[in-house]
Amino acid sequence: MDRAQKEKVVEELGQIFESSGVVVVAHYEGLTVAEMQDLRAKMREVGGSVRVAKNRLAKIALQDKPCASMADLLTGMTVLAYSEDPVAAAKVVEDYAKKNEKLKVLGGAMGDTALDPAGVKAVAAMPSREELIASIVGCIGAPASNIAGAIGAPASNIAGILSTLEDREAA
């Protein structure tokens, strides 16, 4: 890799560190190519990505970035998982690490907050953006459905009373 390629990689990594909601660092030693492709596919499904880069170049890219505190995690065979959604990458990596012991979560960063493995697990336990939107919509829609039910209830009660009166007269 020549100097121009290295500079390009550092620039790309810098953009990743600045624009991502969360970056998770993990050791991937022993993962097969198929397992790595599976991890990449799962990350793509949630709008995230996986990147393997030289630790030295990643450390250079981390300089003067909000998440610079995670530079200490970059030792050995590391992989970076990241997403704009602050929860998605952590969720996918945690789920994958549960199923595959070869992937070991080292920590990461969420904005300027450094995360240890327990912190990544806590972030993964949080509801995702889509889940939060769904629950908010549910909360907003519940009163409307209650009002519609309350408005429709008197009409159905009147219909029930009329039906009962008709049955009495017919008998």
DSSP output for 77-120:
SEEEEEESSTTHHHHHHHHHHHH-TT-EEEEEEETTEEE-HHHH
Q: Are residues 118 and 139 in the same domain?
A: no
Query: Strand runs (DSSP E) across the chain, as ranges?
Result: 22-27, 48-51, 78-83, 104-110, 113-115
Structural domain that includes position 162: 127-171
Tokens of residue 157, six digits: 């009660």
The count of domains in the chain is 2
Q: Are residues 56 and 137 in the same domain?
A: no
- Crossing angle (nearest 10°) for helices 33-45 and 88-99: 150
Quote the pTM value. Answer: 0.71
Q: Are residues 48 and 11 in the same domain?
A: yes
Greatest mean pLDDT range, 9-13, 133-137, 139-143, 146-150: 9-13
Q: Are residues 46 and 106 in the same domain?
A: yes
CATH code of the domain containing 68 = 3.30.70.1730
Position 139 pLDDT exceeds 80: no
At residue 105, φ and ψ (nearest 5 deg) are -75, 125
Q: Are residues 39 and 58 in the same domain?
A: yes
Q: Kindly give, in sequence order, each residue whose CB lies less than 8 Å from that of residue 60, ignoring residues fewer than 6 positions away.
A: 10
What's the pLDDT tens digit per position in 111-120?
A: 778 888 888 8
Position 159 pLDDT exceeds 80: no
